[in-house]
Amino acid sequence: MPVNVGPDALIGEVVDGRYTVLERIAAGGMATVYRAVDTRLDRDVALKVMRPHLAHDESFVARFRREARAAARLSHPNIVSVFDQGEDRGRVFLAMEYVPGRTLRDVIEDDGPLSPDAALDILEPVLLALAEAHHQGGIIHRDVKPENVIIRDDGVVKVADFGLARAVTTETATSASSEVLGTLSYISPEQVEGGKGTPRSDVYAAGLLLFEMLTGRKAFEGDSIPHVIYQHIHHGVPTPSRVHPGIPPNVDSLVLQAAAKDPDDRPQDAAEFLAEVRHVRRLLGDGAREAASTSGPSGAQTSAPLATAVLPVHHDQPATAAALAANETQPYAVTRPPARAVRPAPRPVVAKPRKASAGARAIAAPPAAGKRRRRTGILAGLLALLAGAAAAGWYFLAGPGAPTTVPQLSNLTRAQAHAALETAHLDAKDVQAFSETVAKGVVISATPGEGASLRRGEDVTLTISKGKERYEVPVVAGITDKTALARLAARNLEGEVTRAYSDTVEKGRVVSSTPVAGTELKRGDKVTIVVSDGPQPIDVPTYRGMTLEEAQAAATAVGLTVAEGEQVYSTDVEQGRIVAQTPAEGQVVRGATITVQVSKGPEMVEVPSVFNLGEAKAVATLEAAGFAVKVEKFLGAPLDVCTGQTPGGGEQAPKGSTVTITIV
């Protein structure tokens, strides 16, 4: 039975005239969670009551209502249902589905690290819940972490608190430093840097969730918020198998894909990540089935379970709710049914002589007939012995223990082989293996082989062909080479990187693959990926002296663009031709724009008149107007008077040109 975790003034009160509070089951810096009874519908609910400092924040209350309404629209077996939200006497509350069990945080602390199969058992329903929110409700969770994943007592996995991370912002929750630190352990780099949360942000957190289940520790740990944030931005997620050896490479790849620092390198949403998880699970399942044959009692062959992940349910702990204040709930059990028990080989059964009762002997043996009694006893024993021998003979010669021979089974279909073994009174046990020569569904071999002598009812192991071992080339265009190589490795393919210039694909991302996506290859086959070096650089041409039209035609021929800038005066470049350009030299990429300045010719200005002025004043006047001055003196210029100038005063001349004056 649930246990109250401590005294609380709200216990026993009726919230909103409807919810009778029974006990407090979780408490955090943001909210307190209670088990309550909905008196209208007569059912238990989890009542999440926000802390007073949040209830008094009007902007928070508005966001809380909006996000709660959105979350209430979600309906999925792996999502904790939101029933109601409201405000009563200054208390902002949320009524949600009451879920008895444990959180994934408790499962990891009590039972972790988990096996890859057990971790994927839990991750798959988490991704189903996120995919439902992403595609049906358009909702981003924003706070995926072990405290928000609940495993019910019957093994059902539930995800809680959809949308509430958006309502309870970091600014409104700074008082709960430990909770903020816990949340930041799973926040994506783009969210840390102030970006908007997207489905890829939830995928990132799910990748860190998988890392923690596999290793038993967080990917990014620290004792301060800046320390954790720094790791998200500057450190890639560690490879799980380096922390906890023995994890398969394709499971490592799942974590590295989902938790890539660049959002574009991750699966685009939970549904795409779920497809990758299921693909890896199929690979793990195939490997487990091929390695699952062990010897049972009396030499009988038994099949090991493909995957049995049992996380104990602690019934002596308080049952909790899906409503998680600081996301504190208590976890549950995930179990997969054990493999079918294989019955052992039959043992010989010999009938034993039945003993006559004392009463029977008294009736059958009259007094004073000793010899007859002895003969009768001997005869009864002999008959019993004969009966036992007959039973044993029947068992070993014609019954279940009779000898039989393994028929020819190779190259038969599975159904044909099973029928042949049934005719021979033998049981079939199937294992699967790839084959390059035997068609899918056909027997490759049998153990024991053809002609072997067995007792009826014993097992014959059939190795059934899965067909040729082939792996589909994944889509890698547009992602980084590191992520592309990880995706190829997850498909048991080898990647080889080449580089090429590309005008359309960003530098460092994959342009194409050979063979193309969707092609089926053998294990270990090579896939060549072409990674972009960005646009090819081009030496900047010189367009000075050309007309604008000439420059534009020349630029188009090499993949550049010429744009006209401001026109300028020029005394050395004729009007209509290019005077200067930006950039003037160096290299640019294809598609770049060169800006040019076209000459307006020389600037024409009016020549001032300097007639009758002295030489010094005449020169100063002309230079102030922007002209150069040439002085010609007549007879030594004894009078120091200007008697002539060319061009004459009042005429137009190019600015900077030379005016000749005569001084007498």
Catalytic center residues: 143
* Per-residue 3-state assignment (H helix, E strand, C coil) for 396-442: HHCCCCCEEECCCCCCCEHHHHHHHHHHCCCEEEEEEECCCCCCCCE
List beta partners, residue 20: 14, 37
d(CA 405, CA 394): 18
Distances in whole angstroms, Cα of residue 442 to Cα of each of 290, 414, 417: 16, 6, 9
| 314, burial (CB in 10 Å: exposed 0-12, middle 13-18, buried 19+) | middle
Helical axes 199-215 vs 270-290, angle rounded to 10°: 30
Name the burial class of residue 261, with classes exposed (0-12), middle (13-18) and buried (19+) by CB atoms within 10 angstroms of its CB. Answer: middle
Beta bridge partners of 93: 49, 86
Per the document, the length of the chain is 664
Render the burial of 484-497: b for 16+ CB within 10 Å, e for the rest. bbbbbbbbbbebee
Contact 571, 581 (CB under 8 A): no
Neighbours of 213 (CB within 10 A): 27
Q: How far apart are the first and last CA of the chain?
A: 125
Give the single-character DSSP code of 6: S
Cα–Cα–Cα angle for 523, 527, 530, nearest 5°? 165
C-beta atoms surrounding 376 within 10 Å = 15
Between CA 256 and CA 214 the distance in angstroms is 13
As a whole number of angstroms, the distance between CA 445 and CA 463 comes to 5
